[in-house]
Structure 1
Amino acid sequence: MTHNSYSHPFSRNDQSMVARWFWTVDRGLLGAALTLMALGVALSFASSPAAIGADESITDPFHYSWRMMVFSTMGLCVMLGASLLSPRGVRRIAVLALICSILVMAALPIIGDTVKGAARWINLGPFSLQPSEFAKPGLIVFAAWMFAEAQKGEGVPGVSIAFALWALTVGLLLIQPDIGQTLLVTTTFMAVFFMAGVPLKWVAALAAVGAGGVVSLYFMFGHMRDRLSRFLSPETTDTHQIDRASEAIRNGGLIGRGIGEGVMKRHVPDLHTDFIYSVGAEEFGLVLSLIMIGLYAFIVIRGMRKAMKLNDSFEQTAAAGLFMLIGLQACINIAVNLNLIPTKGMTLPFISYGGSSMMAMGLTMGFALALTRRRPGAYELGSNVAPRRRLLP
């Protein structure tokens, strides 16, 4: 019997770019991200009619759902495209994303739209762009690159350059102002700095400085004081938003009220963005909540384990930082919905409505998938792997 000369497009003998990608990418991580995207689209159909509310300019009750499908498709294309990149390609695209984001963020006071007292978006016809979303993965990858260059001991001031770009990014975020993104970016940046090889005494010093910075932000920004006061003393102020979200989660019980049967979503502002978790919890119950949390935990744990096995210092710290970025943002959003921390105005990765958030999360996950792909020597100790050095004495 002769073998058919026509090979399957994804056979192991196929050397095309797509075939090599299929056999080297972590399909478990990819599947988890795709599942979260699918859940996001499904929950958009549950939340869209209520999210429209009294807006008479929108006649289609599933207006946000159709847009969410477009955003998810765009995010999927970005994620798959980024996952095809080489580590060098990841660096190049990340630097480009960071530079473009910083330039647009610097222009926001002039060209940006102010919504709820914050200038974070620019209008692009029917869509709005939030450049800070793309600055996050760009900064993490760039910082990991600079820290890796500093470890080589060849005179590159990588630590100084990374901290300078971090300070510039944070400064532009505070001008908007966006305290939540500032804390998320700073926490992830410091984690990458620690993973790059910083002595514990420096970690303690940076933690003390960070605590002082948070206290300073409390006195500098009135809206931060107001949110913290509402969280610590809910009986003294209006907490309608978080109260309705908490009630929705409680009413969901174990298996939820059923598809389209949720009632509290009609009283939760921003339910399709910041509080989409409470919508899902009410209609699908604790079961869906645990599934979502489990998917995020799977991405972070599996991703971090793969990242820590990489030989290259840049690839290791960049991939770990990107997975941590996804996990921290998910934790913050869910914690806000559960009334464990003050409200932050932060989206739930892959699930909340929003084009900028979806595409930026696709870029973040795509970078992480690209860096953790199986490549010759990536997970094997080779003679060309330089010994790791401490960044600071």
Structure 2
Amino acid sequence: MTDATAPYSHPFSRNDPSPIAQWFWTVDRALLGAALILIGLGVALSFASSPAAILADESITDPFHYSWRMIVFSTGGIAGMLTLSLLSPRGVRRIAVLALLGAIVVMAMLPFIGDTVKGAARWVNLGPFSLQPSEFAKPSLIVFAAWMFAEGKKGQGVPGVSIAFGFYAVTVALLLIQPDIGQTLLITTTFMAVFFMAGVPLRWVAVLMGAFAAGMTAIYLLFPHVQSRVAKFVAPGIEDTHQIDRASEAIRAGGLVGRGIGEGVMKRSVPDLHTDFIYSVGAEEFGLVLSLAMIALYAFIVIRGMRRAMKLNDPFEQTAAAGLFMLIGLQASINVAVNLNLIPTKGMTLPFISYGGSSMLAMGVTMGFALALTRRRPGAYEPGASLTRPRRMLMP
């Protein structure tokens, strides 16, 4: 018989040399927990949105079709996040380089093999699923750029800045061919932030900001759908704003505590409610309380992640981790701002919550890379950094 008075024994001892035990005591469990909570919210909201979302596709009869698929996607995202969080910084670099090269190759083939949806060729049909390679290019490019910037600063003849900008230019060019303006803006903003955090001279930052402004002007002039979205935002009484109007009504209808689980009615008229506008579905059924809770979770991930990243000693690990956390925060901010009608629509998913296999898997990759880079390792953090350390530091 088990002695009820015996002290509780943790399944992983601090002295256990196994890789899983080392991972458990060195990974930031608070960041991991916040990501898992967001994924759980995403699955829950998929059950609220799926019955209304299937109305747009008469071939689907199961009201929870998207919910079951969301569970599959979430399981894959969690598995990828946990697996990648076991990596060393060198392993993160290797996987990021392979993923970036793979994403660029597939993106280059999209004009020939991609499925065109709403005028954009962004997906590769893989039978029951569709793959969007640009989702995986985002975290991979950030890690690769941070590595190149760090190598360039060593002064050993590696043209790291030139190589990073070359891959950035190729990635953006392929995104504009699709076209995918939202992902272009997100990647560009995050890339600029990583470039700044790498410690480059301010004059280069000024040059990059000028190039960014010129690029945004060119995009506006060259892409009619961008002009239309800006016009809808600036002059809502002139252009058709059905999509954002219905989302705004859903958010207002939710009030403080929402209509209740499954009681939302405005979601039935919100296009893309299970993807780009899942925030409005949650706001209608669960109210301002859930909306603020989601925003607080994103803020927690970004703030805690950035604080840990800034205390890392290695320049590559520091800028790469900070860039990845910023990527998550920027994408979440863009999605929420669109739902609140604060900026023009962008077609951006809400990290960990929106329906979509590529989005969920890519977010798992992003968070997995970030957790791996911020794990406690001998000499990884500055002496005296205010981190909660285990009693015995384990070798990764």
Q: TM-score range by the shorter chain?
A: over 0.9
In 2, are the aligned partners of 1:311 and 1:381 still within 8 Å (CA)?
Answer: no
Residue identity in the other structure for 1:28: A
Specify the alignment match of 1:321 in structure 2.
323
Displacement after TM superposition at 1:56 (Å): 2.5
Give CA-to-partner distance per residue, 1:279-300, whole Å, 9 cap, x none.
0000000000000000000000
Displacement after TM superposition at 1:54 (Å): 4.7
Specify the alignment match of 2:390 in structure 1.
none
Q: What does 1:140-289 correspond to in 2, within 5 Å?
A: 140-289=142-291
Specify the alignment match of 1:386 in structure 2.
none
Residue identity in the other structure for 1:65: S
Unaligned stretches of 5+ in structure 2? Answer: 1-5, 385-396
Instruction: Give the paired residue count.
Output: 378
RMSD of the alignment, in Å? 1.3
Q: Report the Cα distance in structure 2 between the residues aligned to 1:223 and 1:201, rounded to whole angstroms.
A: 34
In 2, are the aligned partners of 1:244 and 1:267 still within 8 Å (CA)?
Answer: yes
Specify the alignment match of 1:391 in structure 2.
none
Q: Report the Cα distance in structure 2 between the residues aligned to 1:304 and 1:253, rounded to whole angstroms.
A: 33
Specify the alignment match of 1:69 in structure 2.
71
Q: Report the Cα distance in structure 2 between the residues aligned to 1:284 and 1:154, rounded to whole angstroms.
A: 56
Displacement after TM superposition at 1:201 (Å): 2.1
Q: After TM superposition, what 4+ stretches of structure 1 lie above 3 angstroms from structure 2?
A: none
Greater alpha carbon shift after TM alignment, 193-202 vs 19-28: 193-202
Q: Report the Cα distance in structure 2 between the residues aligned to 1:254 and 1:36, rounded to whole angstroms.
A: 20
Displacement after TM superposition at 1:209 (Å): 1.4
Residue identity in the other structure for 1:173: L
SS at match of 2:125: strand
In 2, are the aligned partners of 1:82 and 1:370 still within 8 Å (CA)?
Answer: yes
In 2, are the aligned partners of 1:257 and 1:283 still within 8 Å (CA)?
Answer: yes
Q: Report the Cα distance in structure 2 between the residues aligned to 1:259 and 1:67, rounded to whole angstroms.
A: 20
Q: Report the Cα distance in structure 1 between the residues aligned to 2:115 and 2:363, rounded to whole angstroms.
A: 22
Q: Report the Cα distance in structure 2 between the residues aligned to 1:56 and 1:105, rounded to whole angstroms.
A: 31
Unaligned stretches of 5+ in structure 1? Answer: 383-393
Residue identity in the other structure for 1:370: A
Greater alpha carbon shift after TM alignment, 173-182 vs 56-65: 56-65
In 2, are the aligned partners of 1:97 and 1:138 still within 8 Å (CA)?
Answer: yes
**1:25 matched to 2:27:** yes
Specify the alignment match of 1:79 in structure 2.
81
SS at match of 1:259: coil
Specify the alignment match of 2:351 in structure 1.
349
Specify the alignment match of 1:389 in structure 2.
none
Q: Report the Cα distance in structure 1 between the residues aligned to 2:207 and 2:172, rounded to whole angstroms.
A: 19
Q: Report the Cα distance in structure 2 between the residues aligned to 1:220 and 1:194, rounded to whole angstroms.
A: 28
Residue identity in the other structure for 1:322: L
SS at match of 2:237: helix
SS at match of 1:234: coil
In 2, are the aligned partners of 1:310 and 1:316 still within 8 Å (CA)?
Answer: yes
Residue identity in the other structure for 2:317: E
SS at match of 1:53: helix
Q: Report the Cα distance in structure 2 between the residues aligned to 1:105 and 1:316, rounded to whole angstroms.
A: 29
**1:334 matched to 2:306:** no
Displacement after TM superposition at 1:23 (Å): 0.3
Q: Report the Cα distance in structure 2 between the residues aligned to 1:136 and 1:123, rounded to whole angstroms.
A: 20
Q: TM-score with structure 2 length normalisation?
A: 0.94
Residue identity in the other structure for 2:181: I
Q: Report the Cα distance in structure 2 between the residues aligned to 1:290 and 1:56, rounded to whole angstroms.
A: 35
SS at match of 1:67: helix
SS at match of 1:123: strand
Residue identity in the other structure for 1:329: Q
Specify the alignment match of 1:43 in structure 2.
45
Q: Report the Cα distance in structure 2 between the residues aligned to 1:237 and 1:54, rounded to whole angstroms.
A: 23
Q: Report the Cα distance in structure 1 between the residues aligned to 2:98 and 2:70, rounded to whole angstroms.
A: 26
Match of 1:92 among 83, 94, 103: 94
In 2, are the aligned partners of 1:276 and 1:351 still within 8 Å (CA)?
Answer: yes
Q: TM-score with structure 1 length normalisation?
A: 0.95
Give CA-to-partner distance per residue, 1:335-356, whole Å, 9 cap, x none.
0000000000010000000000
Q: Report the Cα distance in structure 2 between the residues aligned to 1:331 and 1:266, rounded to whole angstroms.
A: 24
Q: Report the Cα distance in structure 1 between the residues aligned to 2:370 and 2:304, rounded to whole angstroms.
A: 11
Displacement after TM superposition at 1:9 (Å): 3.4
Match of 2:127 among 118, 125, 128: 125
**1:380 matched to 2:376:** no
